[in-house]
Amino acid sequence: MEALKKFDGAYWRSLFDSRVGKTTWPYGSGVWSKKEWVLPEIDPDDIVSAFEGNSNLFWAERFGKQFLGMNDFWVKHCGISHTGSFKDLGMTVLVSQVNRLRKLKRPVFGVGCASTGDTSAALSAYCAAAGIPSIVFLPANKISTAQLVQPISNGALVLSIDTDFDGCMKLIREVTSELPIYLANSLNSLRLEGQKTAAIEILQQFDWEVPDWVIVPGGNLGNIYAFYKGFKMCQELGLVNRIPRLVCAQAANANPLYLYYKSGWKEFKPLKANTTFASAIQIGDPVSIDRAVFALRNSNGIVEEATEEELMDAMALADSTGMFICPHTGVALTALIKLRNSGVIGSDDRTVVVSTAHGLKFTQSKTDYHSGDIPGMGRFANPPVLVKADFGSVMDVLKDFLLSKKK
């Protein structure tokens, strides 16, 4: 920070703005456009990048007006990315550093992680691009098919282990302390250095105006800290004069942070996470718990939770306004709905929900919701209409449809 403080906020703002939309290696990446703040000493030749970042900050006008009574509601689509989740932001930094270490002949044979499906997808893609072996520990039958096929296709060694994410995390920590395998989970701060650029990007996309609220779904809890760090650096280096209030949203079936928050930060108890449609945050013993608490306490933050029905309904509502979000973003939207209903978030507050993965990774749960295959769920289901292949039958369906729209 001392070195960065040699330049003022105006210098950094104009440097970052000058790199947007350019292809000059490596600054066209949203992460590497902030290279001086991320990993200053790395040689551009060592960087492994898929031009991640610069994701759409979507003005969710219809969702905001219709369901929240808000005119200034935005969704930061971090999931519209090379491997379909925000994990690309941190993984480009970690794999670049490993690439550099290997060129320096350091004993790093490969890179490994435990994953609920997104970290493994990002790790295997970036490693494959650089020709570095990757090893992923996945909880058997607990991640989506789309997520499972990503590391398989990218040539990773995929271990499908009969445990949950927390069990995989424990195993990979043991293994990486014995073997020359570099641990890629978010307890490694290189990951967070990349992920923090999403916060800087939000400020940049608002022409360096600070939103009132940023809502992030939380599992292993690296991302909420990364957002805090990005905002805080912008404040300390004079790019902006305040930071937003942060909200971390958890699934009620995997809510150790929420329970800790509700205890007044008195007692943290890791727990056995139950099955949730937000499967990527089915985590009971998050590695970054202390960092998350630090971020929330220093941003006047809040923790909320979402039941299975709430998160699936929120996802369906968002999709019905033209988005195609993942269940974890449904968790964050539920938090927003609750905080709007209780009046904590005001109708004029500029609010950003961070969308963390692409909806196409979670088509099974969406299909089940819309087909009415999930008992007790489907308030906003839109099932396909089965119709005979004749003109009259098709016309009958269309007439009913047009009449229903007229009402």
Ligand X SMILES: N[C@@H](CCOP(=O)(O)O)C(=O)O
Ligand Y SMILES: Cc1ncc(COP(=O)(O)O)c(C=O)c1O
Residues at the contact surface with ligand X, assessed by CB under 6 A: 113, 115-120, 185-186, 219-220, 222, 280, 287
Please report how close the Cβ of residue 166 comes to ligand X at its closest, in angstroms.
10
Please report how close the Cβ of residue 16 comes to ligand X at its closest, in angstroms.
25
Residue 61's SS3 state is: helix
Q: What are phi and psi of 157, to 5 degrees?
A: -80, 115
Number of residues near ligand Y (by CB under 6 A):
17
Q: What angle do CA 179, 184, 190 make, to 5 degrees?
A: 125
Please choose which of ligand Y, ligand X, none residue 185 contacts, taking the beta carbon within 5 to 8 angstroms, the exact cut-off set by kind: ligand X
Please choose which of ligand Y, ligand X, none residue 218 contacts, taking the beta carbon within 5 to 8 angstroms, the exact cut-off set by kind: ligand Y
* Contact in structure between 184 and 156 (CB atoms under 8 Å): no
Please choose which of ligand Y, ligand X, none residue 115 contacts, taking the beta carbon within 5 to 8 angstroms, the exact cut-off set by kind: ligand X
Instruction: Give the DSSP letter of residue 68.
Output: I
For helices 145-153 and 118-130, what crossing angle results, to 10°? 20
Place of tokens 């013993």: 285
* Contact in structure between 200 and 78 (CB atoms under 8 Å): no
Comparing CB distances to ligand Y, the nearer of 158 and 221 is 221
Distance from the first to the final alpha carbon of the chain: 61
* Contact in structure between 117 and 144 (CB atoms under 8 Å): yes
> Residue 93 interacts with ligand Y (CB under 6 A)?
no
* Residue 138 amino acid letter: L
Please choose which of ligand Y, ligand X, none residue 326 contacts, taking the beta carbon within 5 to 8 angstroms, the exact cut-off set by kind: ligand Y
Please report how close the Cβ of residue 53 comes to ligand Y at its closest, in angstroms.
16
* Residue 239 amino acid letter: L
Binding-site string for ligand Y from residue 62 to residue 91, where x marks contact by CB under 6 A and - marks none: -----------------------x------
Instruction: Give the DSSP letter of residue 47.
Output: -
* Contact in structure between 248 and 111 (CB atoms under 8 Å): no
Please report how close the Cβ of residue 21 comes to ligand Y at its closest, in angstroms.
27
Find the binder of ligand Y among 217, 230, 284, 378 (CB under 6 A): 217
Please choose which of ligand Y, ligand X, none residue 356 contacts, taking the beta carbon within 5 to 8 angstroms, the exact cut-off set by kind: ligand Y
Binding-site string for ligand Y from residue 186 to residue 205, where x marks contact by CB under 6 A and - marks none: x-------------------
Interacting residues toward ligand Y by CB under 6 A? 85, 116, 118, 186, 217-223, 280-281, 326, 328, 356-357
